[in-house]
Chain A
Amino acid sequence: MSLPGILLQTLLLLLLAPLVSGCIKNWKAKLQNRRGPRVWQPYFDILKFLRKDMIISEHASRVFSFAPHVVFLTSLLAGLMVPMVTTQAPLSLFGGMLAVIGLLALGRFFLALGGLDPGSAFGGMGSSREMSLSAIAEPALVLAIFTVAITAGSTDLSRVVAATHGPTLKLLNPAHLMAFAALFIVLLAETGRIPVDNPATHLELTMIHEAMLLEYSGRHLAFMEWGASIKQLVLMTLLVNVFFPIGIATDSSLAALAVSLSAYVLKLLLLSAIIVLVETTNAKLRLFRVPDLLSAAFVLATLALLSTFLFQ
């Protein structure tokens, strides 16, 4: 745990997260034969939101203004516990996988309360769906992570990455592949991607995440959007670095860091491309079909666990 490490990773999280969102939006548009917003658009959005005036609902309590800050800070804190460029995450001493899950859940808890607070039915609907779906996604998430943790022998993410990074590549280990697939489905659900939620829509009856943000404006909205994109980055980092830690720096020499950073960005862009492909080739599922998808993730995670048992 070092101060420069914390500062650098905080900056990286803050700056990289909107870029990933921008890339996904832009590429999606390209694939649909639209021109689409620029890759940098999310940065401009956040800056614009920060400058704008705010309207707060007359029915809202203090929880409403508190929630965006909690969402923003918990995403950042969770991000500091995930190894991004070096195997040693800055805050790995203060928490591993379980703390990351817990912090993201804390953010979601306040996000959902913020949705309920202004007393609009849309917000309530969004909160209800978000909490229900994330509850169904949670066992798959934990089971997949347990599978990795069992092979690595620890819930400490830095140790897990160090273990998978070892000299023998464990890419083709069936347990890892299935756990990866399970986590990928959970990633789609947690970040509100297409088979589960449509981030581009404002159609009342289909939206989940956007419905909770409906009453937010100004800098509150900026923190909400920024927090959501950081959370997305954290989950994606978890996926790429835990399962494919190729190129990650094991020490803090400048050369290793440079190699690691470029490898990391490449991996992120590749994962974004996969997400774009999934989003473009699939239709949004009906709300009550989503639990089927998430139970598929749970079954995959269980199979992953069983195969660690069989192939050990």
Chain B
Amino acid sequence: MPSDIILQPATLLTLSLCGYVGGAVAGLLFARHAKLANLLSFSAAALSGVSGLFAALVFLASAAAPLRQIELVPPLNPFVQFTARLDALGAFFLAIVSLIGFGLSVYSLGYAKGFLGRKNIGVLGAFFNMLLLATTLVFLADNAFFFLITWEIMALTAYCLVSFEHERDETRKAGVLYFVMSHIGTGCLILGFLLLFQTSGSYGFDTFHSIGGQMSASRRNAAFLLFLVGFGTKAGIVPLHIWLPAAHPVAPSNVSALMSGVLIKTGIYGMTRTFFEFLGTPPNWWGVTVLTIGTISAVLGVLYALMEHDLKRLLAYHSIENIGIILMGLGAALMFLHTGHGLLASLALIAGLYHTINHAAFKALLFLGAGAVLHTTHTRNMEEMGGLAKRMPTTSFFFLIGAVAISALPPLNGFVSEWLTYQSLLQGFGTTESLIRLMFPLGGAMLALTSALAAACFVKAFGITFLAQPRSHHARQAHEAAPTMLIGQAILTAACVFLGLFPTVFLKLFDPLTEQLIGQQISSQLTVVNGLVLSGIAPNGGTVSTLGISLIALCLVPLPLVLWLLFARGSKTRIGATWDCGLKSLTPQMEYTATGFSKPIRMIFKTLFRPRREVQREYDFSPHFARTIRFEAHVEEIFETRIYRPMRIGILRLSRRIRALQAGSIQAYLIYIFVTLLLLLLFAL
């Protein structure tokens, strides 16, 4: 039966991979015909996304046996094998990259036209396809060598895309920072895999399975730390995050969405793969470390996001926050694995991974919205926006949905995964007798702080950008985005709504995953009432149903209507001016600004931000009637000033010292070589 073959995950996956390759080739081939290249490369990417998504869903839903050791290219030698595997964990992440890739590609069809005549769209399309291909292969690699190669291709294509608009100084700087940080991470990963190789004698992921049990404690811990730093750099955990708010905003918006939505999740994938599959039963401090890092990243990420008035930088900081929330789930899962609570560990792991796909959906959506705004207003500065809700109603509606979702408000998807995280933290209190258990409720409190601050931040992001009067000429001239851009956003909006309203359907797909990593299938324990209501693990975990809430809300909607019919039928509605205290009229300058909006937070957390402001007034007769005012406000980024700047200065100083060796005389170099040779010979003896 041909239809059977087509519906096989392997066939769909091959189709998807070939599609990306085809898209990349088409982009390069037709680079001179911008419109054709645009159409071909991005529609290839969109189709590959659909087929990859189906591959993942079919695989997860059928709970098929993992496909292992599929040879993509003949091996170079016994160690370097280009083998792929499709297992539950990989399929889950494959679903994320394909879903987001699909939405982004449709959006890009319209968005890339903004570069017509300015930049080479074919190259953009080719790199975009290559990045999607490399990311997909990262999730499929079955061999450490192959994994690192795809990892590196992914990092390099991402670098090329970040630097796409390289004419600007800011972009080049951000690109280099990303490049350096990414390679520090890769260095750690290479060392980590080498540690595993020393015990297993092979680079195949199969031989790494639970290898931690055979390693000495110190090696295992070293491998854990190396993977934590290596994957953490990619994920953007505090304090390794500094590249993220620099690099994500300067890339074209479809690429920002891909980086924030999917690329940083490769770090989460790596951590899940290594911590849960390779390194064996974890000691307690691993989970404690991951949970602590997660909490700190979440709180600091959202606090710095609040200080931003650059729309895309704000979103980038929120990625750090959400990675923190994901890590809270993973950290709790590690702690439960240590105490042997498989059920709870599965719950916490699901919470973390559910948040992973949720964050991918709403963050990509928000970046697309920001891209549409940027496209028409030509600025990322929120202080120059405003009034866009009337000028781009559809985009603003999608952005609002994304904002509600990321603020973890019911009934959308952010709420569901944070609810699962709360449940696992709450039940974690009973897993141990030691004082460590206080970490769970305190972590819950910090999660509450995080989501409340996120809500504040998105009131600001949506309110200042889309509501009230336009603050600049560009904002006044703004117009709705192209249809394909809207469809791209609609796809991701639909994903947010579906993941929010039907979590119980989606949870079933986690069964093969938790079975693979922890050996438990718990989806049946997470639902009650014929699988309609989400439940914390029985006997008495709480229950929640976003669908039920929405249905009851729908039933209550007639209530205001009835009240209107009963009492207000005679009343009229007039359009009038906003109360202006008797002035002639309100101007956009009198509106609340993004900086003003976050002032209370800046003051409350002033020990962290160390805000500094500078006001210069020029006046003729009274300071109250200034001729010109110049206002400057800064917050200190303590990681930059306290850690990275001293480190950079130190490295530069050291390299200046070392430069003395490099005197330029060939005799001296010959002596170095000779001395090194002697030393090596002595060492070998």
A and B co-occur in one complex: yes
Interface set of A (CB-CB < 8 Å, partner B) = 6, 10, 47, 50-63, 69, 72-73, 76-77, 80, 91-99, 101-103, 105-106, 108-109, 112-113, 116-125, 127-129, 131-143, 146-147, 149-150, 153-156, 159, 214-215, 218-219, 222-223, 287-288, 291, 298, 301-302, 305-306, 309
Taking CB atoms, residues of chain B closer than 8 Å to A136 are 449, 604
Structural contact, A93 and B548, CB atoms closer than 8 A: yes
23 contacts between A and B (CB under 8 A): A47-B567, A55-B573, A57-B576, A57-B578, A58-B575, A61-B467, A62-B389, A63-B467, A77-B549, A92-B543, A94-B548, A95-B545, A102-B415, A105-B409, A106-B409, A116-B464, A119-B469, A132-B601, A142-B445, A155-B426, A156-B543, A219-B563, A287-B600
Indicate if B280 sits at the interface (CB-CB under 8 A): no
CA distance A287 to B599 in the complex (A): 12
B579 touching A94 by the CB < 8 A rule? no
List residues of chain A with CB within 8 A of the CB of B591: 119-121, 124
Bound Cα distance A122, B578 (Å): 11
Looking at A52, A59, A288, the one whose CB has the most chain B CB atoms below 10 A away is A59
Residue B65 interfacial (CB < 8 Å)? no
A131-B456, A134-B452, A143-B445 are known contacts. Are A94 and B598 too (CB-CB below 8 A)?
Answer: no
CB within 8 Å for A98 and B422 given contacts A57-B576, A119-B586: yes
Interface residues of B in 543-577 (CB under 8 A from A): 543-545, 548-549, 552-553, 556-557, 559-560, 563-564, 567-568, 570-577
CA–CA, A170 to B407, complex, Å? 36
Q: How far is the CA of A131 from the CA of B464 in the complex (A)?
A: 14
Q: Which one, A73, A119, A153, contacts B578 given CB within 8 A?
A: A119
The answer for the CA separation of A120 and B587 in the assembled complex, in Å, is: 9
| Cβ contact within 8 Å between B592 and A116 | yes
B407 to chain A: which residues have CB within 8 Å?
Answer: 105, 109
Q: Do most interface residues of chain A lie in helix, strand or loop, or is the interface mixed?
A: helix
What residues of A have a CB within 8 angstroms of the CB of B542 in the complex? 95-98, 149, 154-156
Residues of A contacting B422 in the complex (Cβ-Cβ under 8 angstroms)? 98, 155
- A55, B468: Cβ atoms under 8 Å? no
**Residue of B386, B437, B567 most packed against chain A (CB within 10 A):** B567
Using A55-B575, A56-B576 as known contacts, list a sample of 18 further A-B pairs with CB atoms less than 8 Å apart, ordered by residue number in A.
Answer: A50-B564, A58-B576, A59-B468, A72-B560, A73-B557, A93-B529, A96-B542, A97-B542, A99-B419, A102-B415, A109-B459, A112-B463, A119-B469, A119-B591, A120-B586, A124-B597, A128-B597, A142-B447
Given A94-B543, A95-B543, A305-B438, decide whether A138 and B448 contact each other with a Cβ distance below 8 A.
yes
CB distance from A132 to the nearest CB of B (A): 4
Interface residues of B in 497-554 (CB under 8 A from A): 528-529, 533, 536, 540-545, 548-549, 552-553
B167 CB → nearest A CB, Å:
36
Partner of B459, one of A52, A59, A80, A127: A127
Interface of B is mostly: helix
Chain B residue at minimum C-beta to C-beta distance from A118: B578
Report the minimal beta-carbon distance from B102 to chain A, rounded to whole angstroms: 29
Contacts of A287 in B (CB 8 A): 600
Chain A residues, CB < 8 A from B588? 119
Query: A91 to chain B: which residues have CB within 8 Å?
Result: 548-549, 552
Bound: A63/B467 CA distance, A: 8
In the complex, residue of chain B having the shortest beta-carbon distance to the beta carbon of A81? B549
Q: Which listed residue (A53, A141, A223) contacts B574, Cβ 8 A? A: A53
A146 to chain B: which residues have CB within 8 Å? 426, 441, 444-445
Considering the chains assembled together, what is the distance between the CA atoms of A153 and B427 in angstroms? 8
Q: B563, B580, B600 — which one has the most chain A CB atoms within 10 A of its CB?
A: B600
Closest A residue to B390 using CB positions:
A61
Distance (whole angstroms) from the CB of A288 to the closest CB of chain B? 6
Task: Kindly report which residue of chain B lies nearest to residue A57, judged by CB atoms.
Answer: B578
B404 contacts A218, CB within 8 Å? no
Residue total for B at the interface (Cβ-Cβ under 8 A): 90
Does B442 lie at the interface of the complex (its beta carbon under 8 Å from any beta carbon of A)? Answer: yes
Min C-beta distance of B599 to chain A, whole Å: 7
Note all chain A residues with C-beta closer than 8 A to B463: 112-113, 116-117, 124, 127
The answer to whether the Cβ of B462 comes within 8 Å of any Cβ in the partner chain is: yes
The list of the 6 closest CB pairs from A to B, nearest first, reads A124-B592, A119-B468, A155-B542, A116-B463, A131-B456, A132-B600
Complex Cα distance, B415 from A103, in Å, reads 10
Q: Please name all residues of chain A whose beta carbon is closer than 8 Å to the beta carbon of B386 when the two chains form the complex.
A: 119
B180 at the A interface (CB under 8 A): no
**Could you tell me the distance in whole angstroms from the C-beta of B380 to the nearest C-beta in chain A?**
20
The CA-CA distance from A159 to B540 in the complex, in Å, is: 8
A184 to B473, CA, bound (A): 48
CB distance from B558 to the nearest CB of A (A): 11
Given contacts A91-B552, A135-B453, A135-B601, contact A124 B596 (CB under 8 A): yes
Minimal beta-carbon separation of A178 from chain B (angstroms): 14
- Residue pair A139, B449 in contact (C-beta under 8 Å): yes
CA distance in complex: A157, B570 (Å): 42
Asked whether B389 lies within 8 Å of A63 as measured between CB atoms, the reply is: yes
Report the minimal beta-carbon distance from A125 to chain B, rounded to whole angstroms: 6
Q: Is the CB of B543 within 8 A of A218?
A: no
A154 adjacent to B541 (CB under 8 Å): yes
- Asked whether A131 lies within 8 Å of B459 as measured between CB atoms, the reply is yes
B590 adjacent to chain A (CB < 8 Å): yes
Is B148 an interface residue when CB atoms closer than 8 A count as contact?
Answer: no
Residues of A with C-beta under 8 A to B601: 132, 135
Contacts A121-B591, A155-B541, A156-B543; A59 near B441 (Cβ below 8 A): no
CA distance A77 to B411 in the complex (A): 12
Q: Contacts A61-B467, A95-B549, A215-B578 hold; do A135 and B541 have CB atoms under 8 A apart? A: no
Tell which of B445, B451, B570, B571 has the most Cβ of chain A within 10 Å. Answer: B445
Judging by beta carbons under 8 Å apart, are A103 and B548 in contact? no
Cα of A72 to Cα of B373 in the assembled complex, Å = 31
With the chains together, A56 CA to B601 CA distance in Å? 30
Residue B455 interfacial (CB < 8 Å): yes
Instruction: Provide the residues of chain A in CB contact with B449, threshold 8 Å.
Output: 135-136, 138-139
Q: Which residues of A contact B544 (CB under 8 A)?
A: 94-96, 98-99
Most buried by A among B437, B444, B468, B577: B468
Residues of B contacting A103 in the complex (Cβ-Cβ under 8 angstroms)? 410, 549
Q: How far is the CA of A69 from the CA of B568 in the complex (A)?
A: 15
Contact of A99 (CB < 8 Å), options: B393, B410, B426, B459? B410
- Chain B contacts of A134 at CB under 8 A? 452, 456
A98 to B444, CA, bound (A): 11
Task: Note all chain A residues with C-beta closer than 8 A to B453.
Answer: 135
Q: Given A58-B577, A102-B409, check contact A121 B592 (CB 8 Å).
A: yes
When C-beta atoms are compared, the residue in chain A nearest to B455 turns out to be A109
| B429 interfacial contact with A, CB 8 Å | yes
| B577–A57 CB distance below 8 A | yes
Q: How far is the CA of A94 from the CA of B535 in the complex (A)?
A: 10
A142 touches B467 (CB 8 A): no
By beta carbon, the residue of chain A nearest B466 is A61
- A139 to B441 Cα, complex, angstroms: 10
A91 CA / B437 CA spacing, docked (Å): 31
Interface residues of B in 583-618 (CB under 8 A from A): 586, 588, 590-592, 596-601, 603-604
Check B423 for interface membership: any CB of A closer than 8 A.
yes
Chain B CB within 10 Å, residue with most, of A113, A128, A129: A128
Instruction: Evaluate contact between A129 and B571: CB separation under 8 angstroms.
Output: no
Report Cα–Cα, A154/B251, bound state, in Å: 46
Which residue of chain A lies nearest to B463 when distances are taken between CB atoms in the complex? A116
B408 in the interface, Cβ–Cβ < 8 Å? Answer: yes
Q: How far is the CA of A120 from the CA of B386 in the complex (A)?
A: 13
A73 touches B553 (CB 8 A): yes
User: B387 contacts the other chain (Cβ, under 8 Å)?
Assistant: yes
B446 interfacial contact with A, CB 8 Å: yes
State in angstroms the CA–CA spacing of A291 and B596 once bound together.
18
Residue of B nearest to A153 (CB): B540
Contact A214 B579 (CB under 8 A): yes
Q: Report the bound CA distance from A113 to B457 in whole Å.
A: 11
A102 adjacent to B586 (CB under 8 Å): no
